[in-house]
Amino acid sequence: MPADDLTPSASLTAKREAAVAALADVPREPGAKKPDPILVADDVKRHFGGLLAVDVDHVEIQRGSITALIGPNGAGKTTFFNLLTGFDRANSGSWSFNGRSLHGTPPFKVARAGMVRTFQLTKALSKLTVIQNMRLGATGQRGESFWRAMLPFTWRAQETAITERAEELLARFKLDTKRDDFAGSLSGGQRKLLEMARALMVEPELVMLDEPMAGVNPALTQSLLQHVSNLREQGMTVLFVEHDMDMVRDIADWVVVMGQGKILAEGPPETVMSDHKVIDAYLGAHHDQSLAELEQELEAGTLTEEEPAAAETGDGR
């Protein structure tokens, strides 16, 4: 990829214009039909005890676009991600990717179908080096079968090819200097980059990013955003969960708002952010405060409710 892709001006490219144009005539309402959906979900429900965590009637994701999934904490965004990618089981509903039904499909088959996700809490594989992390992402490796693994000549050529591709990606994500470091020694932002690069090794059509910007230092966010927009430039579709409205506005072509498990609103960023339902969902009674301030409060709330807990207990419990 040419280096100038990484400059901020790249945000108004032909691909973005195409994506915006394709979505121009789509009605601004929950469950709106898209001209060329890559992912379609219907009646997806997930209960946790008495709580209905996800209750999505209908949603479509436009191919070749960047769609942001926003919503207050506990809106069911991550759970919805988990359901779509097979990491959690829906109580009911159906969804299809490229016309292929994925209900009940285990996560690894979802990934092989071309729908790859990342996690809110970065899952860098600490005791593997950066390059090993990358190689792991490649699919269809001969050396990953038990019997052939013991016969290196059967997989060596493929391994070399994979390594070359991995090194290209690392260079693009500016991780090439860390090639042989343990992934566990990287900073939080570098891990996010590594996770994204590793997901690209799968050669996905749809990349699902769960809060790609969470916990990344501000200096890195611009470069991360740039990488996300670049995915679209390379013809991939992106669906991402995010809290920060400014970032959403910068890169998203379409925004889907969730609240209490349901899709509340859909539309281009500007439209959605002035939608009353969205403001109510986010702000409740605090209509007077600015969105940015409330975002910050929500973020702070997130920190005590979810993240440290997950960080502490994420390993074994």
Partner 1 sequence: MDWGNILELSLRELVGVQAIVFALAAIGINVQFGYTGLLNFGQAAFAAVGGYGVAVIVTTYGWSFWLGLVVAVAAAVVLALLLGVPTLRLRADYLAIVTIAASEIVRLVGRSAWGRDVFGGSDGITGFSSAFYDLNPFTEPLELGPFEFRERVLWVLAVGWALVAICTLVVWLLMRSPWGRVLKAIREDEDAVRSLGKNVYAYKMQSLVIGGVMGAFAGIVYSLFQGAMQPDVYATNFTFFAYAILILGGAATVFGPVLGAAIIWFSFQFIDLALRGAIGEGYIPDWLMDSNDTGAVRFMLTGVVLVLLLVFRPQGILGDRREIALDAR
Partner 2 sequence: MQKLARCLGALLAVLAAVLLAAPTAAAQGSGETIHGTLTYQDAPVAGVTITVSSADGDEIGTAQTAADGTWEVPVPGPGDYTVVLDAATLPSTAPGVARDTIETTVNPQQRKVVLFRVGAPEGGGDQPSPSATSPSEGGEEEGQAPGEGSAEAEAGEDITATAGNNQLLQLFVSGIRFGLILGLAGLGLSLVFGTTGLTNFAHGELIVFGAVAALLMNQAGVPILLAALLATLLSAVFGWGQDRGFWRPLRKKPTGLIALMIISIGVSLFLRYLTQFIIGGGRETYDQYTYQSPVSIGPLSITPRDLIIMGICVVLLAAVALALTRTRIGKATRAVADNPALAAASGINVDRVITVVWTVGTALAGLSGIFFGMIQGVDYLMGMRILLLVFAATVLGGLGTAWGAMVGALVVGVFIEVSAYVVPSELKTAGVLVVLILILLVRPQGILGRRERVG
**Residues 215-244: x/- map of binding to partner 2 (CB under 8 A)?**
------------------------------
Q: Which is nearer to partner 2, 115 or 278 (CB)?
A: 115
DSSP state, residue 116? E
Q: Which two tokens stand for residue 143?
A: 């050396």
CA distance 99 to 101: 6
Q: What does 136 interact with, of partner 1, partner 2, none (CB < 5 to 8 A by kind)?
A: partner 1
Strand order in the sheet with 37-48: 51-62, 37-48, 92-97, 100-101
Cβ contact 240:227 at 8 Å? no
What is the chain's length? 317
Smallest separation, CB 311 to partner 2 (Å): 7
Cβ contact 200:137 at 8 Å? yes
Strand order in the sheet with 115-117: 115-117, 206-210, 237-241, 66-70, 254-259, 262-267
Among 13, 91, 96, 141, binds partner 1 (CB under 8 A): 141
Q: Which two tokens stand for residue 262?
A: 């349901």
Smallest separation, CB 82 to partner 2 (Å): 5
CA distance 212 to 118: 8
Q: CA neighbours within 13 Å on the CB side: how many for 36?
A: 11
187 is a contact residue toward partner 1 (CB under 8 A): no
Residue 42, strand partner residues = 58, 94
Q: Which is nearer to partner 2, 144 or 305 (CB)?
A: 305
Q: Which is nearer to partner 2, 35 or 308 (CB)?
A: 308
198 is a contact residue toward partner 1 (CB under 8 A): yes
301 is a contact residue toward partner 2 (CB under 8 A): no
**Residues 80-99: x/- map of binding to partner 1 (CB under 8 A)?**
-----x-x------------
Among 20, 87, 103, 203, binds partner 2 (CB under 8 A): 87
106 is a contact residue toward partner 2 (CB under 8 A): no
Give the distance between the most distant pair of CA atoms in the chain: 68
Among 182, 220, 249, 302, binds partner 1 (CB under 8 A): 182
Contact footprint for partner 1 (CB under 8 A): 85, 87, 106-109, 111-112, 116-119, 123-128, 132-133, 135-137, 139, 141-146, 149-150, 152, 155, 159, 182, 184-185, 195, 198-199, 201-202, 316-317
